[in-house]
Amino acid sequence: NAGVTQTPKFQVLKTGQSMTLQCAQDMNHEYMSWYRQDPGMGLRLIHYSVGAGITDQGEVPNGYNVSRSTTEDFPLRLLSAAPSQTSVYFCASSYSRGVGYGYTFGSGTRLTVV
């Protein structure tokens, strides 16, 4: 089924460890983004990309890196995990830049940093 695939679904990290959250879409969407969801906070934009080779920061980028080497993939890297990064992470994609096209969300990665 076409859509946005996120892996892993669950992850526990120790403080200071690094990891990569994977996001892949098979809809040939130009725009991809990462959000984090915290209780009582809604979703906040971390990073986004408007096409292969182009990335930019969102509202809460600190502690996260991204790259976009292909149209399909948009991994999110935590270089040195901190307890404050415990959250649920969602990847979203869209046909093109601009919110008007509507977003397709993945099912999320629940990350716990201990």
**Dihedral through CA 109, CA 50, CA 2, CA 12, nearest 10?**
-10
26 part of the interface to other proteins, by CB under 8 A = no
63 part of the interface to other proteins, by CB under 8 A = no
Among 25, 33, 85, 87, binds other proteins (CB under 8 A): 33
* Shortest distance (Å) from residue 16 CB to other proteins: 28
Can you tell me the distance from the alpha carbon of 101 to that of 31, in angstroms, rounded to the nearest whole number?
A: 10
Among 29, 90, 93, 113, binds other proteins (CB under 8 A): 90
Among 19, 27, 50, 52, binds other proteins (CB under 8 A): 50
Could you tell me how far CA 49 lies from the centroid of its own chain? 10
DSSP-assigned letter for residue 73: B
Coil, helix or strand at residue 17? coil
Q: In Å, what is the CA distance from 87 to each residue of 7, 20, 90? A: 15, 14, 10
62 part of the interface to other proteins, by CB under 8 A = no
Residues contributing to the site for other proteins (CB under 8 A): 4, 31, 33, 35, 40-45, 48, 50, 56-59, 90, 92, 97-100, 102-103, 105-108
